[in-house]
């Protein structure tokens, strides 16, 4: 599956039950032992295609490849994972949005004895437990917990208690939704409060970088350039293999040269992206028939040529992109060992070409639901990075893509903490959310999807931007955040620019300017 269709899939549609309710093309021979029930907030059964998004995780947040399952409206039956597990499902929460929810039986994990299970109640109970536990831990670490957060948690508990006494399922579902919504708002407020307290207690981080890709210079005109220069301190420039070298040994550097010259003139530091990436749309035709060792040799020469050509003019690169086995980024069908080998080669060769280079190992789809859908040989970005570190691969920066992920800010905060704990500096290398709804014919994705708090608008985009940048800036391990596409005149993410189609600032652009001023960077 290509990356763009998968992104649309993860935010809008799901594989049909007929696609995931079978094992090796055969219907399950006997009813599986686990039965899960799911309902919309109004009490109607959760549609089967949406319910098929449900997946299991281990208790370290790693997705588990789907066991055998069957799905109908409101009911999913599945073979159990062989160990205690958690459950994840994107489900509407009336009064908050449509985000991925988690249940882990208060941290203990589920086993077959916990079923049948109505996931609505489990999500509400475990959200309350997860947020309350985090608040207690943060308080012990010296962070104040706003009274409004504690009030929400108390209301959530009251709703849960009422649900336990409710006379019918319809009433329970409504009360569980109320409890869940209180827990979601409480979690976001608590995470942002901790972030803001950290920022106040820390000296301004002068080295923190605001970035954007510079792909549209000089094509979008002087307003684009002016607003770019006024906000960003780093800029990503394109090194996509097929467009740059459609004929072997004849790379065309003209577009990159023009961008690098402009950026150097303005004092903005360029970063190259990507030196190695196996998305099928950017692997040159002449590479396709080559055996692995010849592809590796060709890539090594490409990396040497680029890093030697630009030297200190481009001090950093995404040396390898999405090398954790995702199907849209594995056009040549490599296995995990080959991806590790290529990662090592890319990192070593970049340093050989320019010894002072900053090497970013870049990953996407951070929650890794694709691992649950497709199974081996995929692995999550987290497991891929752990494998890189265990193998002693030398690189400077962990790169994370964070397009709007159908997650609330509390869960985004948890995920960022998970990656920063790996012990290397982190850059958020690509990020966007929408400022409008419907279809954006100027974007590569097309349809704007997702619901966080309210339908996408300039105001909602600005709120999301402010909050996610606040979380990132509060973590000393995160050194840079790069927005992906400045202008709606042409963008990857639907309505994802910080400028509109006339290259005039949206609310999010001004919000970022305000953050830079407030943080004195």
Structural domain spans, the chain = 3-199, 204-519
- Give the pLDDT score at 486: 98
Distance CA 253, CA 243 (A): 10
Distance CA 41, CA 175 (A): 9
CB 342 within 8 A of CB 332: no
pTM of the model: 0.93
Higher pLDDT, 264 or 21: 264
- Band (13; pLDDT cuts 50, 70, 90): very low
- Give the pLDDT score at 377: 81
- Give the pLDDT score at 376: 84
pLDDT at 324 over 80: yes
Lowest mean pLDDT segment, chosen from 32-36, 332-336, 426-430: 32-36
Helix (H, G, I), strand (E, B) or coil at 417: helix
CB 496 within 8 A of CB 484: yes
- Give the pLDDT score at 462: 98
- Give the pLDDT score at 32: 56
- List pLDDT tens digits, range 94-123: 999 999 999 999 999 999 999 999 999 999
Q: Which of these, 220, 205, 285, lies nearest to 481 by C-alpha position?
A: 205
pLDDT at 14 over 50: no
Q: Given 3.20.20.80, 3.40.50.720, 2.30.30.60, 3.40.50.300, which CATH number is that of 204-519?
A: 3.20.20.80
Mean pLDDT within 4-20: 36
Distance CA 78, CA 89 (A): 14
The percentage of residues in the chain with a pLDDT greater than 90, rounded to a whole number, is: 92
The encoded tokens of residue 475 equal 């973590």
pLDDT at 464 over 60: yes
Mean pLDDT within 414-439: 98
- Give the pLDDT score at 482: 98
- Give the pLDDT score at 90: 98
Q: Sort residue 365 into left (φ over 0), alpha (ψ -120 to 50) or beta.
A: left
Mean pLDDT for the chain?
A: 94
* Bridge partners (DSSP) listed for residue 87: 56, 103
Higher pLDDT, 450 or 8: 450
- List pLDDT tens digits, range 15-60: 333 222 223 334 444 545 899 999 999 999 999 999 999 999 999 9
Instruction: Indicate the DSSP class of residue 217.
Output: T
- Give the pLDDT score at 30: 53
Helix (H, G, I), strand (E, B) or coil at 89: strand
- List pLDDT tens digits, range 303-323: 999 999 999 999 999 999 999
The encoded tokens of residue 285 equal 């035709």
Torsion of CA 459, 462, 464, 470, to 10 degrees: -140
- Give the pLDDT score at 326: 87
- Give the pLDDT score at 15: 32
CB 457 within 8 A of CB 211: no
Mean pLDDT within 61-83: 96
Mean pLDDT within 140-165: 98
Lowest mean pLDDT segment, chosen from 30-34, 60-64, 346-350: 30-34
């Amino acid at each position: 599956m290509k990356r763009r269709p998968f992104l649309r899939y993860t935010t809008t549609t799901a594989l049909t039950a007929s696609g995931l309710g079978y094992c090796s093309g055969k219907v399950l021979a006997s009813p599986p032992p686990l039965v899960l029930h799911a309902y919309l907030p109004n009490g109607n059964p959760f549609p089967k295609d949406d319910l098929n998004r449900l997946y299991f995780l281990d208790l370290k947040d790693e997705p588990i490849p789907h066991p055998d399952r069957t799905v109908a409206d409101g009911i999913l039956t599945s073979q159990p994972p062989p160990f205690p597990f958690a459950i994840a499902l994107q489900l509407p929460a009336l009064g908050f949005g449509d985000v991925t929810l988690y249940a882990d039986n208060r941290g203990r994990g589920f086993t077959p004895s916990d079923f049948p299970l109505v996931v609505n109640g489990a999500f509400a109970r475990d959200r309350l437990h997860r947020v309350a536990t985090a608040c207690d831990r943060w308080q012990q670490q010296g962070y104040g917990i706003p009274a409004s957060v504690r009030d929400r948690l108390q209301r959530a508990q009251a709703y849960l208690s009422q649900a336990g006494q409710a006379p019918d399922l319809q009433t329970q579902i409504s009360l569980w939704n109320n409890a869940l919504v209180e827990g979601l708002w409480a979690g976001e407020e608590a995470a942002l409060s901790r972030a803001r307290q950290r920022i106040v207690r820390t000296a301004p981080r002068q080295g923190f970088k605001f970035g954007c890709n510079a792909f549209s210079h000089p094509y979008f005109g002087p307003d684009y350039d002016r607003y770019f220069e006024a906000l960003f301190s780093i800029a990503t420039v394109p090194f996509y293999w097929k467009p740059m070298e459609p004929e072997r040994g004849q790379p065309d550097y003209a577009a990159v040269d023009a961008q690098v010259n402009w950026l150097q003139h303005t004092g903005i530091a360029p970063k190259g992206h990507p030196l190695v990436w196996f998305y099928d749309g950017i692997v040159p035709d002449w590479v396709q028939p080559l055996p692995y060792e010849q592809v590796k040799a060709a890539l090594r020469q490409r990396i040497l040529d680029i890093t030697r050509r630009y030297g200190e003019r481009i001090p950093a690169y995404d040396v390898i992109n999405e090398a954790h086995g995702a199907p849209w980024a594995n056009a040549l069908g490599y296995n995990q060992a080959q991806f590790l080998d290529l990662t090592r080669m890319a990192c070593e060769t970049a340093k050989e070409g320019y010894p002072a280079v900053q090497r970013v190992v870049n990953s996407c789809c951070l929650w890794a639901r694709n691992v649950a859908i497709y199974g081996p040989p995929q692995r999550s970005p987290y497991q891929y990075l752990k494998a890189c570190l265990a193998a002693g691969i030398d690189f400077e920066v962990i790169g994370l893509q964070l397009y709007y992920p159908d997650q609330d800010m509390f869960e985004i905060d948890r995920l960022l903490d998970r990656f920063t704990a790996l012990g290397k500096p982190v850059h958020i290398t690509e990020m966007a959310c929408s400022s409008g709804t419907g279809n954006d014919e100027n974007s590569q994705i097309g349809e704007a999807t997702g619901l966080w708090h309210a339908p996408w608008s300039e105001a909602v985009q600005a709120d999301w931007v402010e909050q996610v940048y606040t979380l990132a800036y509060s973590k000393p391990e995160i050194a840079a955040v790069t927005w992906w596409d400045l202008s709606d005149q042409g963008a990857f993410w639907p309505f994802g620019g910080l400028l509109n189609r006339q290259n005039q600032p949206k609310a999010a652009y001004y919000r970022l300017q305000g953050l830079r001023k407030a943080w004195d960077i």
